[in-house]
Amino acid sequence: MTTRLPLTGGCNCGAVRYEVTEPLVRASYCHCRRCQRRTGVAASAQAHPAPGSFRITSGSEKLRVWKPADGGGEKWFCSQCGSALFGLNPNHPESIGIRMGTFDDDPGIRPSVRQFVAFAAPWEPIPDDGLPRYPQSRHAADQRRGQR
């Protein structure tokens, strides 16, 4: 499958639009409580663009951010319709997580890992899909292996 670039997407009401100009690097599922509360589902599917390839093309004035007091991942959303668009962790600023449901078309990538499974919702079992699972952040496992 060939994915046409740029990839485009946006919020539910169309006020905020974005593009990704390079192929996505990876995609993941996050099972943390913040993602559950932010999305209302058991796991959040997110795609990670190459550094510098993601940009807001319109509606930046409509964007709002929630920054948790503990310095964890920021959650960016549309102030008009409330659509969750992307997240950014100040500890890993190169790793933006674009909510996969906000792409206009198939982004050409599938989640390849599940993280924060220690917090998985008890009402929706994690499927036996063969994906690697991390009890906490996959970044912690990368750092233990000397990677980033």
- Write down the residue that tokens 């008009």 correspond to: 80
- The 10s digit of each residue's pLDDT in 36-74 is 888 889 999 999 999 999 999 999 999 999 998 887 788
Position 148 confidence tier, pLDDT thresholds 50, 70, 90? very low
According to the model, what pLDDT value does residue 126 have? 95
Residue with tokens 């499974």: 117
What whole-number distance in Å separates Cα of residue 145 and Cα of residue 72? 22
CB pairs under 8 A, 24+ apart, for 60-65?
A: 60/16, 62/11, 62/15, 62/16, 63/16
pTM exceeding 0.75: yes
User: Per the structure block, which two tokens stand in for 126?
Assistant: 């994690």
CA 142 from centre of chain: 18
